Amino acid sequence: MEAPCMNKLKQKEFTLASVTDLTSPSSSSPSSSPVVATFSCVNEVTELRFQESESSDDFSFELSSTQLFKLGPLQFVCVSDKDNSLSRGVVIMFRDDKESKDFSDSFGEWTKDAFKKGPGLPNGTVSDSTSKFDNKIEAASAKMYFHYYGKLLHQQNMLQDYVRTGTYHAAVMENRSDFSGRVVVDVGAGSGILSMFAALAGAKHVYAVEASEMADYARKLIAGNPLLAERITVIKGKIEDVELPEKADVLISEPMGTLLVNERMLETYVIARDRFLSPNGKMFPTVGRIHMAPFADEFLFIEMANKALFWQQQNYYGVDLTPLYGSAHQGYFPVVDAFDPRLLIAPSMFHVIDFTKMKEEQFYEIDVPLKFTASVCTRVHGLACWFDVLFDGSTVQRWFTTAPGAPTTHWYQIRCVLSQPIHVMAGQEITGRLHLVAHSAQSYTINLTLSAKMWRPGASQGGILQTSSCKLDLKEPYYRMSQPQVYPVAQEPPAQPQDLQIQSEDLEEVELLQQNANAQL
């Protein structure tokens, strides 16, 4: 007997052109009669059932253990590996694109239903179903991520970022009315510092959810503050998996990474919003903005180019490295450092991410059109980025920024260096695109393109004079320095030793100055 599924999806059928069972020798060729694929829910188990119209034989896959891979416009392979037994797979073929797309969309909807959690899970336990987090993040990346944040040294590094910690403390304490007597969920609690801030502000109860081993340290730290401990419960587990006994009035978290989105924790933050936050609840932080501006930095460009010169050696211990020079020249890393804001050659623009409205899926791909007006005549070497977030409290609105020129944080800023610089005149328009694509290693692939439009003659036709681009992995940045480097107002490429010519008159002038100085002494 069928029971209603948790999200009330109706049973859906698709007539397939053919089905080939990859695990049955007797079915090595496609079925000759039409096969019907049916999505249904039987005894609270969502499944995909295949049945030939002229046969009583059928088989089914439980969707909680099934994956779908697209081989072509009309062809898919469906694989199930329930209970760690031998996998079973079928190749399915559709008659047209519409049926193929409808099937793929339905599979996504029904699979999402298969991973929903049932009622009655005790507080803090984790569902046996495969985690939504585990489905989109590769295991090796997750293991390294939670190992890193499970170490006290790294938590100390963040706690000692006094700009970060002090801003959070001020945002909470200045808005006590948002916390006093309220239920709070700390998303990715780490050491539990934000949970204790919420308790200090009068929270009724705080649920500190932390997936790494740091949860054990957080329990110990909170227990050492007994006036706060009775109102804080530490739950070890992922936000995607745990169940809480009540809805939250406030979510607090520090989910920001490099370029705001690195580590993909913002997705977890909005999942917590959808799962636990009551209507009209507060989120601290509330809004994030990614700021962008083109920059000119001859020193950085030469430094990055020189790294690739290593691969131009034709006799490196008897080995010719030049076959990899082309790949190395294109394999720049995004640069993380604190830079002088005078390197920016145009006013910045920003892209807004509203944590109260953004859907999880919208983080998978972020596309930002770029448009700037150059303020100086120079060579543009890339795009500089930083972020800020708003704590939209009922009493005080407080911004936290990682901008160049502001007090330095452990995020610094990030710069994407173009493969080749582009030349611009003062007043010239620079256009482009910043395209971020999420990947399973908890980060993003950065695709950047910048173009300079024609200047004066021909500008009315709107043609593009120069274009340069780069493709970078945000997960693998180059940490260049910890403090801003002092640059002159106008930069020139460093002179090579052979270019330095000392004139005899210069030497005579130096000697004369030294004699005058000695005479004064």
Same domain for 188 and 301?
A: no
> What is the CA 61 to chain-centroid distance, rounded?
33
Four-CA torsion 53, 56, 59, 62, nearest 10 degrees? 80
Over the stretch 129-186, which tens digit does the pLDDT of each residue have? 457 788 888 999 999 999 999 999 999 999 999 999 999 999 999 999 999 999 999 9
> What is the CA 74 to chain-centroid distance, rounded?
32
Same domain for 437 and 300?
A: yes
The two three-digit tokens of residue 93, written as one number: 């073929």
* Closest to 237 in 3D by CA, of 336, 134, 362, 352: 134
In a domain, 268, yes or no: no
Same domain for 28 and 157?
A: no
Q: Phi, psi (5° rounding) for residue 455?
A: -110, 125
Looking up tokens 């983080």 gives 363
The parent domain of residue 320 ranges over 288-479
CATH number at residue 105: 2.30.29.30
Neighbours of 379 (CB within 10 A): 17
In a domain, 278, yes or no: no
In a domain, 215, yes or no: yes
Q: Phi, psi (5° rounding) for residue 191?
A: -75, -10
Give the global pTM: 0.70
Same domain for 170 and 209?
A: yes
Same domain for 344 and 447?
A: yes
- Cβ atoms of residues 307 and 327 within 8 Å: no
CATH number at residue 236: 3.40.50.150
In a domain, 125, yes or no: no
Which residues are designated catalytic? 254, 263
Same domain for 301 and 238?
A: no
Same domain for 150 and 112?
A: no
In a domain, 282, yes or no: no
Buried b (16+ CB within 10 A) or exposed e, 313-344: eeeeeeeeeeeeeeeebebbbbbbbbbbbbbb
In a domain, 5, yes or no: no
- Supply the DSSP string of 426-465, one letter for each residue: TT-EEEEEEEEEEETTTEEEEEEEEEEE--STTGGGT-EE
The two three-digit tokens of residue 409, written as one number: 């944080």
- Cβ atoms of residues 102 and 112 within 8 Å: no
- Cβ atoms of residues 292 and 368 within 8 Å: yes
Please state, in angstroms and rounded to a whole number, the distance separating the CA atoms of residues 121 and 37.
Answer: 33
Pairing of strands 18-21, 88-93: antiparallel
pLDDT band at 247, cuts 50/70/90?
very high
Distances (CA, A) of 466 to 418, 423, 425: 12, 8, 12
CATH number at residue 398: 2.70.160.11
In a domain, 520, yes or no: no
Same domain for 374 and 466?
A: yes
Same domain for 173 and 211?
A: yes
- Cβ atoms of residues 240 and 133 within 8 Å: yes
Same domain for 315 and 443?
A: yes
Tally of domains in the chain:
3
Over the stretch 274-314, which tens digit does the pLDDT of each residue have? 999 999 999 999 999 999 999 999 999 998 888 888 999 99
In a domain, 76, yes or no: yes
Same domain for 97 and 151?
A: no
Q: Phi, psi (5° rounding) for residue 319?
A: -115, 135
Same domain for 322 and 365?
A: yes
Q: Which of 196, 231, 254 is the last residue of a domain?
A: 254
Q: Please report the pLDDT score of residue 217 as a whole number.
A: 96
Over the stretch 62-102, which tens digit does the pLDDT of each residue have? 887 788 877 778 888 888 765 445 567 888 888 888 888 88
